[in-house]
Amino acid sequence: MIHNGLDDIIVAATVLSDVDGAAGQLVIRGHSLDELAGRQSFEQVLHLLWQGFFPDLPDPAALTARLGTARAEVYAATAALLPQLARRPVYDAMRAGAALLGDGTTLDDALRLAAAPAVLTPALLRLQAGGTPLPPDPALGHAADVVRMLGRDGGAAALDTYLVTVCDHGLNASTFAARVVASTQAGLMSSVLAGLGALKGPLHGGAPGPIITMLDEIAAEGDARRWLERAVHDGERLMGFGHRIYRTRDPRADALKAAVAKLPKSAGRLAFAEAVEREALAVLAAHKPGRVLQTNVEFYTALLLEAVGFPAEAFTAVFAMGRVAGWLAHAREQALTGRLIRPQSVYVSEEQVAA
């Protein structure tokens, strides 16, 4: 029997996170998302995820300082090449910058990789906008430093909530890719690059950029129901809706919506997005009555990152700033406890494929 898409196939035991698709609950190392998002900093959750996977992991305060140092190290290692990298789309350039870091397995290797998307993305965006990069300030918190490196003022708490909300999520496609590479005993950079490759696609981490396009087109047309019905009728997928695991609302959507609501000047855009969401859910219910297609994490991600000041083309790179914490923990867990991942395929004739 072929398990196309590997639905319901269990290939790893993990202490890191649990996604309960029926109940709509996400647990990260024993804590519900509600206990973490907006309450714990990204660095505290990084500490939670990495416990037991690095023998020299310091306490959360020292880890926060070490992550600041790692940001400075990433900048020093990549600054000379950034103008050249900035000619590529920001996600590809960020990934190429991360590939300049070492492929080791130590805590310092992991910290530099965890820092890489956070340092490279704002620097590349500033170069692409004709400006100059702002070097990291190791004394700041991670999210606050990202906002500062972007040249923005405000939104650090919302970004911190976002990074925590997306830090880990079971065996999603990018985490699985990272674990497959880790199972070969390749270094941590190779696992992160695998994760970055998988995250890029619109069915995974590439959805929030197109959500802004969707919202803008709907605003211009002035009739959400008509726009959404036409898109579904044309066979398009509505970005920000549906999920492989959740059969109810994605709990991350509400965590992010709450963070957006706290941002100044977001009320009008939030009210508009809520109205579009209501229409989209009605259109999807009519389109696929037998399938629960609910709002996923990406819908309010788009709103939050837009309000913090990121351009839509950078949203997936910002997703990587958070998810890299989980990839690195999973890569260590896989390398320490797992077995080489090597599934089977069935050999078929061309005629069978065509049939």
Name the minimum Å distance from CB 299 to ligand ACO: 8
Convert 150-175 to b/e letters by CB count within 10 Å (16 or more is b): beeeebbbbbbbbbbbbbbbbbbbbb
Question: Shortest Cβ contact with ligand ACO: which residue?
Answer: 242
Nearer to ligand ACO, 75 or 299 (CB): 299
Q: Which two tokens stand for residue 223?
A: 């009739």
Pick the closer one to ligand ACO by CB: 200 or 243. Answer: 243
Considering the complex, what minimum distance in angstroms separates the CB of residue 200 from ligand ACO? Answer: 11
Identity of the residue numbered 297: V
Under the rule (CB under 6 A), what is the footprint of ligand ACO?
Answer: 202-205, 207, 232, 237-244, 284, 288, 291, 293, 296-298
Q: Which residues are catalytic?
A: 243, 298
Nearest distance from C-beta of residue 184 to ligand ACO, angstroms: 24
The Cα 55–Cα 119 span in angstroms is 26
**CB-nearer residue toward ligand ACO: 103 or 313:** 313
CB of 205 to ligand ACO, least distance (A): 6
The span from the CA of 119 to the CA of 133, in Å, is: 10
C-alpha pair distances (Å), 41 with each of 47, 53, 92, 242, 263:
10, 20, 28, 28, 18
Q: Measured from the CB atom, is 70 or 255 closer to ligand ACO?
A: 255
- Return the exposure string of 55-89: e unless at least 16 CB atoms fall within 10 Å of the residue's CB, then b: eebeebeebbebbbebbbbbbebbeeebeebbeee
